Chains A and B, each alone.
Chain A
C-alpha cells in the first residue's frame, strides 16, 4: 500500500499492477526489472539467484543490491507477523487498499478475508 503513496510523494505515477504481477518493465522506477528479478530469485533461493544478484549490482551497485535484500528479508518477516496473527488492514488504509487490491488482483489472496471491510468496499465499488 505504501508503493503508490511514496511514488506520489516524488511526483511519479506508477503502474502498480506491473509492480506486483509483471516483470517491472512498465513500472517506471529505475532498475525495476532487475529489482523484481532479484526479489523473485531471493524468494525461491534457486540457481537463478546468483545471476540476479550480479545483474542488480551491475545496475544499481552492490549497496543497492544489499538494500534490496534487506527489504525482501524484513518484508517476508512482516508478512509472517501480519498473517499469522490475522491482523486486518488499518482503518485509514481501507479505501486505497480496496482500489489497489482490485488493480493488482490482490483481492484474490486468501488473507483478504482478515479485513471484512475491504471486501465490503470492493463489493460497493463493483456494484456502485
Chain B
C-alpha cells in the first residue's frame, strides 16, 4: 500500500509530499544517531502517545544511562519528556540532559520527535491509522555540526534568526532535521503567506486557525 494513502483524499499534495520526505529520512543514519536509534526514538514517541493523565516521566536522573537495548532507559525518558512534558524542560533540566548526551544528539532527538508528532497527531485527530514506521537503514551517523551557530536565541546554539521567527531556527543545530521540520510547518500552516493576516489558501479563516493554535499552545503550556 502506498504511504499515507489514507490521507490522500483529505489533505493537500504538499502535505503528503512533506510527510513522505520526513519518512524517507527517518530511518536513515542522521548526524548523531544511527537509523536504528532514530526509529527507536520514533517508536518511543508512539508508545507514549496519547499520554495517559497519570503518566509522568519524573526525575530523569532516576533512569539508567547504560543498556543493551537500542536506546537506554534514560534516552527513552528524554524522548517522552520532549514529546509530552516539554514545558518542564527548564534551563536546569536542559543542562542535565546535555551533560549526559550532548547538545548535538539532543537537538536531533528533539527534531525527530517534533516531526513524528506532527504526523501522528494529525492521524490521531482524524481517526486514521498511523503510518507504519520505515525500516531503519544501516550505517554510521555523519557526526557533523553546522558552522555559524550563535548563542542567545535558545538554550541550544542556533543559526542566527535574522528575519525569521525564533521557532524557525530553534533546532537548527540539527540542520537537516530542522529543515524537514520546517517543511512540515510550511505545508501544514503558513504556506507561502506567513506574513498575510487574511488567508485565502485554507478552509478556515486565519482567526479560526489561530484560535486552534492558541488553544493547542495553552494545552501544552507553551508560552512562546
Q: Select from chain A the residue with minimum beta-carbon distance to B189.
A: A74
Is B1 located at the chain interface by the 8 A CB criterion?
Answer: no
Chain B residue total in the interface (Cβ 8 A): 70
Chain B interface (Cβ < 8 Å from any Cβ of A): 10-11, 15, 49-50, 82-83, 86-91, 94, 107, 110-111, 113-115, 117-119, 121-122, 124-127, 153-156, 158, 161, 165-167, 170-171, 181, 184-185, 188-189, 197-198, 202-224
Asked if A74 meets B204 with Cβ closer than 8 Å, knowing A85-B110, A90-B166, the reply is: no
Q: Select from chain A the residue with minimum beta-carbon distance to B155.
A: A86
**In the bound complex, do residue B122 and residue A69 qualify as a contact, i.e. CB atoms below 8 Å apart?**
yes
**In the bound complex, do residue B202 and residue A67 qualify as a contact, i.e. CB atoms below 8 Å apart?**
yes
Q: Select from chain B the residue with minimum beta-carbon distance to A101.
A: B223
Q: Is the interface of B mostly helix, strand, loop or mixed?
A: helix
Q: Is the interface of A mostly helix, strand, loop or mixed?
A: helix
B106 CB, nearest partner CB in chain A, Å: 8
Which of A40, A87, A97, A115 sits near B215, CB closer than 8 Å? A40
Q: Select from chain B the residue with minimum beta-carbon distance to A10.
A: B198
In the complex, chain A residues whose CB is within 8 Å of the CB of B171: 81, 84-85
In the complex, chain B residues whose CB is within 8 Å of the CB of A118: 223
**In the bound complex, do residue B118 and residue A77 qualify as a contact, i.e. CB atoms below 8 Å apart?**
yes
Tell me, in angstroms, the Cα distance from A52 to B107 when the chains sit together.
35
